[in-house]
Amino acid sequence: MKIAIDGPAAAGKTTLARRLAEELGYLFVPTGAMYRAAALAKRRGLPPERARIEVRAGGRILLEGEDVTELLDDPALDELSSQVAVDSAVRRHLVALQREIAAGRQVVMEGRDIGTVVLPEAELKIFLWATPEERARRRLRERGGNLEEILAAIRRRDERDSTRQDSPLRPAPDAVLLDTTGRSPQEVLQRALELVEERRARLAG
């Protein structure tokens, strides 16, 4: 089975996708990290639409053969990756890589356009949501900083990710909406595992 998890910035997609993949023994593919690696390539003066990006077990990311995973959480890449992601040449390049990675595999892939564009055939699509205020509070707990500034940055990214011409952030028509506001990561994981079971039963029957 292929599982697509989409949603806005800081909704908990990476945490859920990683844990779900571990529980199921599937490959975890964080596509946000791939856009972050493309942004890092650009910052290093390399063309992001041709960057050699690879995904390894546990969602580790290689850029031109170098493991850059630890560098990708840099808050400066939040904004730059969202800008790079507007470029259709970058999207074509990364979407092709993402489809190649998923071909013939059981994957949990998270991002913005997985259910709509990358894997429209995914058997389970989850659109993860939380209010901007809740997402800002989560980021504050993870990284520290100023709540108002974090909230403003999240709103800016939501706006850019949702209104871009190419593959804007939106739920696939057949996605299950999962509101995580006020729910712990464990509760969200449990709900996702129930959805997997329901889907498996339906596919088997």
**Residues in touch with ligand DC (CB under 6 A):** 9, 31-32, 35-36, 81-82, 85, 111-113, 157, 161
Among 18, 9, 63, which Cα is nearest to 39's? 63
Q: E strands, 15-164, where?
A: 27-30, 53-56, 60-63, 66-67, 107-111, 124-129
* Minimum CB distance to ligand DC smaller for 88 or for 198: 88
Q: Phi first, then psi: give them for residue 55, nearest 5 degrees.
A: -115, 125
CB of 35 to ligand DC, least distance (A): 3
CB of 205 to ligand DC, least distance (A): 32
47/66 Cα distance (integer angstroms) = 16
Q: Are 2 and 21 in contact (CB under 8 A)?
A: no
* Minimum CB distance to ligand DC smaller for 107 or for 200: 107
* Minimum CB distance to ligand DC smaller for 82 or for 180: 82
* Minimum CB distance to ligand DC smaller for 9 or for 189: 9
CB of 204 to ligand DC, least distance (A): 30
CB of 85 to ligand DC, least distance (A): 3
CB of 22 to ligand DC, least distance (A): 19
* Minimum CB distance to ligand DC smaller for 20 or for 85: 85
Residues with Cβ within 8 Å of residue 192, at least 6 apart in sequence: 16, 20, 126, 178
Return the bridge partners of 63, or none. Answer: 53, 66
Residues with Cβ within 8 Å of residue 145, at least 6 apart in sequence: 75, 139
